[in-house]
Amino acid sequence: MPKLPIYMDNHATTPVDPRVLETMLPYFSEKFGNAASRNHSFGWEAEEAVDRARGQIAQLINAKPKEIIFTSGATESDNLAIKGVVEFYKEKGDHIVTCVTEHKAVLDSCRALERAGKAMVTYLPVDKYGMVDPDDVRKALTDRTVLISIMYANNEVGTIHPIAEIGRIAHERGVVFHCDAVQAAGKIPVDVDRDHIDLLALSAHKIYGPKGVGALYVRAKGPRVRISPQMDGGGHERGMRSGTLNVTGIVGLGKACEVAGAVMAEENRRLLDLRDKLQAGIFERLDEVYLNGHPTERLPGNLNVSFAYVEGESLLMGLNDVAVSSGSACTSATLEPSYVIRALGVGDELAHSSIRFGLGRFNTEAEVDFVTDRVTREVRRLREMSPLYEMAREGIDLKSVQWKAE
């Protein structure tokens, strides 16, 4: 019996890896210098630590250390990339191409620019697996397009987009390519040269580092990409992001990247085995379950499933010792089904029935067995109380039923 509660929501955040924590600890106390203090050893020590982290991050994505800009997290990185490009290249154009399943950090940055009259945005659709068609990207480009923003891998359904192809199109047309790689960098091989990425956002807390620190990769050569800063101040980070550096957090991000790169191949094999076991266990025991996301082009730790005739929220409540997440985000007062799941063409019912399992570094096989069992029993219990499930079992076509309003 595994220890409860079980954490299986690793797309939302991850615990700090003990190796990362250990590396960070001295920077809370004795090594407290300001990396911008140029005239004493406290400052030099902090700057050295920051430079080391820059190298560790750069290595993970095949970039150069000087191309890494530290931020407070990927939300800021996405904002800086999108608003920064639109502002800098405003003489050249004002059109952005992105996609409907992007993270809110990207979608809301685009919306804000639209509302301010600073940009026009094309939101590309995705196929039933949640994937963008590179041909759609190509066709959406106009003379005024200054930015393509497509995520590497989706945070809800795990689908991995054909990023290298999209990047090639961007570079053929001389358009800047921004990629939100929060769920990919440190999880699957990411290479800014192979993938033709100009701006890349990543976040420490999704890869076993601390919360509140992230980075933006900004291509320096082939081509050199420019952004307007969104934060004014002391001119840190070569003027692109002012503010005293979060040295402790940055040390953690760097170490998290180093560890991620070192364990990636083995970790992926292990996660894939666990994920496939969880998926097979659920699909063998239950009928009317549907996979959301791409069957193969998907993050190893991701499993998003719709359980027909079951409300995701009710299922979550029943699984009170298992931390997973449902496709109905309480973003507002109303319970809205996830816009990502809906974009796959799944109906509202199935979108409301979706559960995301996010397997990570510290999940075990015993936990997978426990969760398989708990989910199966809970879904069966809820379906026993569902008249709709009864009717469907009896062969009644629910679409043909005339519902009477009381």
Residues in binding contact with ligand PLP, number by CB under 6 A? 13
Contact 320, 341 (CB under 8 A): no
Contact 184, 160 (CB under 8 A): yes
**Residue 203 Cβ, how far from ligand PLP at the closest point, in Å?**
3
**Residue 251 Cβ, how far from ligand PLP at the closest point, in Å?**
17
**Residue 257 Cβ, how far from ligand PLP at the closest point, in Å?**
14
- To the nearest 10 degrees (0 to 180), the angle between helices 74-88 and 104-115 is 30
Beta strand extents in 72-119 (DSSP E only): 95-99
> Looking at 84, 214, 252, 312, which residue binds ligand PLP (CB under 6 A)?
214
Q: Is 56 in the site for ligand PLP (CB under 6 A)?
A: no
**Residue 96 Cβ, how far from ligand PLP at the closest point, in Å?**
17
Q: Is 79 in the site for ligand PLP (CB under 6 A)?
A: no
DSSP for 229-296 reads: -SS-SS-TGGGTS-S---HHHHHHHHHHHHHHHHHHHHHHHHHHHHHHHHHHHHHHH-SSEEEES-SS
Stretch that binds ligand PLP, among 67-75, 92-100, 117-125, 306-314 (CB under 6 A): 67-75
**Residue 131 Cβ, how far from ligand PLP at the closest point, in Å?**
15
Stretch that binds ligand PLP, among 27-35, 68-76, 333-341, 398-406 (CB under 6 A): 68-76
- Within residues 283-342, the interface with ligand PLP by CB under 6 A covers none
| Cβ-based nearer residue to ligand PLP, 103 or 356 | 103
Q: Is 183 in the site for ligand PLP (CB under 6 A)?
A: yes
Q: How far apart are CA 401 and CA 391, in angstroms?
A: 10
| Cβ-based nearer residue to ligand PLP, 155 or 306 | 155
| CA dist 212 → 79, 88, 124, 234, 388 (Å) | 15, 26, 30, 20, 45
| Cβ-based nearer residue to ligand PLP, 105 or 160 | 105
Cis peptide before 223 (omega within 30 of 0): yes
| Cβ-based nearer residue to ligand PLP, 102 or 267 | 102
- Within residues 113-152, the interface with ligand PLP by CB under 6 A covers 151
Contact 199, 177 (CB under 8 A): yes
Q: Is 248 in the site for ligand PLP (CB under 6 A)?
A: no
Q: Encoding tokens for residue 283?
A: 């699909």
Q: What is the number of other CB atoms lying within 10 angstroms of the CB of residue 321?
A: 12
Q: How far apart are CA 27 and CA 24, in angstroms?
A: 6
> Looking at 75, 302, 326, 338, which residue binds ligand PLP (CB under 6 A)?
75
Q: How far apart are CA 299 and CA 360, in angstroms?
A: 11
Stretch that binds ligand PLP, among 61-69, 73-81, 222-230, 310-318 (CB under 6 A): 73-81
Q: Is 105 in the site for ligand PLP (CB under 6 A)?
A: yes
> Looking at 60, 69, 74, 253, which residue binds ligand PLP (CB under 6 A)?
74
SS3 label, residue 179: strand
Which residue, judged by CB position, is nearest to ligand PLP in the bound state? 73
- Which residue is associated with the tokens 């299922």? 315
- Please indicate whether residue 99 is annotated as part of the active site: no
| Cβ-based nearer residue to ligand PLP, 105 or 350 | 105
Q: What is the number of other CB atoms lying within 10 angstroms of the CB of residue 200?
A: 30
Q: Is 180 in the site for ligand PLP (CB under 6 A)?
A: yes
Residues that bind ligand PLP (CB under 6 A): 73-75, 103, 105, 151, 155, 180, 182-183, 203, 206, 214
By annotation, the residues acting in catalysis are: 330
